[in-house]
Amino acid sequence: MKFIYKFLIIILLLTQNIFFIQAQNTSGTDFYLTFGKNSIVVIFDYQIRFVCGSESTEVTIYFTDLQTSISFPLQPHQVQTYELSATEKQAVRNTTTGTTNKSAHITSLKPISVYALNQSNGSTDATNVFPVTTLDINYYDISYYANDAYAVIAISNNTSIEHNGEQVAILNEGQVYYRTLTGDMTGVNITANNPIALFALNEMAFIPTTHGAADCLMQQLPPINTWGKNIFVPVSNMGKDRVRIVVSEDDTNIIQKGGELKSATGSQMSLDNLQAGQFVELEVNLDSAGCYIQSNKPVGVCSYLTGRTYNDFNISDPSQCWVPPVEQMVTQTMIAPFYSENSNINAHYALVVTPTDTKDNTLFSIGGEPYVALSGGSWEDHQSGISFYNIPLIKDTESYRFTNNNGLFVLCYGVGYAESYYYLGGSAVRTLDAAFYANDIHCGDLENNQICEKEVFFRAEIENMGVEVDSIKWFIDDAEFEPAQNQETWDYTFTQGEYEITMEVYYFENGETKTKTITGTLKRKDFWVKMRNVKH
């Protein structure tokens, strides 16, 4: 009981301090995408699904291997599915270890959300696609057994790729390094000298390995600098899901409430003193109302739907979804379910995760219609102070938008006989290893949030860097602000205007002094000016 009490107190303190933060979501204007081999290849379907924001835009898909592109317009709130032709499928499909040009580069004039589907009758999965602004150089693979694969896409020339410290490829922009293994590459460290996109692309995974039903997996993974220490995992209506937690630093300790530790190939059977690259596996049941995970160092978490012979319903099959940390909640996001004529999937859902105290403030909109309260499902309340709602998505050609000013993130899944998909619908993808906040707004979100207060309070968050910090320097419009040097908190009174704020962190790593630079654009506007510009 003492353990549970302490666990809850920590979580309640956490939730009181983070849920009001504004943030950008997983939408953007620049994306890279590739596909992997599917175990069933007689008839397979590759889809790219676009969800337009509130402004009309034009989208362009450039196929690197073909050196051709296609463009089309999107109207506000429109959902557009692009089904690849036979030639285009081969231009983005990787099957063997090596370097290829098999990628697609997607750009738009205004922010959109992008999702991708690898589908065959009986073997399907989907992923969100992260914008290039969220990419970095350090990743861990998270996948499953048995016919495993991953793909790395370079977004700039002369990008050196390393697999557990060994150089395996040098890529130019749009090129792909694809690697396969008869086994499981969960915990492999993939690094580069320039930002890259990483996709987990298992050809045929058995979840759990004791049961024979298998499917392909597809999930783009975010870099380590976006990982957090507090993760809530909801549960699908299949009743029990598997969860993998991968550790990014040595001597990591994990506390969890709501899951049961399970043995899996390569996994650890202890939550204490885990080393970088190690992972544990949990089973989470719907009866527990989800699982709360807390660690002393950043971890990465994926949730999996299991094989149909394991979940007691004889529907669905393995699929994989990245679960963002609680620190990556947003106030609104947009999603869309998938549809394919060749698919057995006939039920689509969204898992909406939000603080329990303000769950009733959660609203949704279909196709740009007015926001209304959630309907068609029910809330599951976890003792951590976080709840989730399993809402059916009954219109598979419309966009869905969710909002809660106290924070939320959304996961999406679809199920049918021997088939399923599971993906992150929307969240923030903030840098969490080193960042600063201005009046509790993350530096990456400042440009989209006007600050009305004249006095702005700054707070550095650098404890997740995992290195010895030597000093901190602060700059306002490239001018060094000496009163704030070596201060993790400081304040300053700004007049109305736009300012570039820079934090430079000097640290020791491998006997060398290095620098990490973080910038944000602060927009200070007087309250009466902001109110005057509000449309009535």
pLDDT tens-digit readout, 510-520: 888 999 999 99
Compute the distance between CA of residue 101 and CA of residue 174 in angstroms, rounded to an integer: 6
User: All domains of the chain, ordered by start, with CATH?
Assistant: 2-426 (no CATH), 435-532 (2.60.40.10)
Sign of CA pseudo-dihedral 74, 80, 86, 92: positive
* First-residue to last-residue Cα distance in the chain: 53
What is residue 529's predicted lDDT score, i.e. its pLDDT? Answer: 42
What does the pLDDT average to over 95-121? 95
Residue spans of beta strands (DSSP E) within 172-252: 176-183, 189-200, 204-206, 214-215, 219-221, 228-233, 240-247
What does the pLDDT average to over 377-402? 95
Of 431, 429, 355, whose CA–CA distance to 128 is shortest?
429
Give me the chain's average pLDDT, please: 91
Residues 289, 380: contact at Cβ < 8 Å?
yes
What does the pLDDT average to over 53-81? 96
Compute the distance between CA of residue 100 and CA of residue 92 in angstroms, rounded to an integer: 9
What is residue 41's predicted lDDT score, i.e. its pLDDT? Answer: 63
pLDDT tens-digit readout, 429-450: 998 988 999 998 889 888 878 8
What does the pLDDT average to over 128-157? 96
pLDDT at 308 over 70: yes
pLDDT at 355 over 80: yes
Both tokens of residue 274? 């885990």
What's the pTM value of the predicted model, to 2 decimals?
A: 0.90
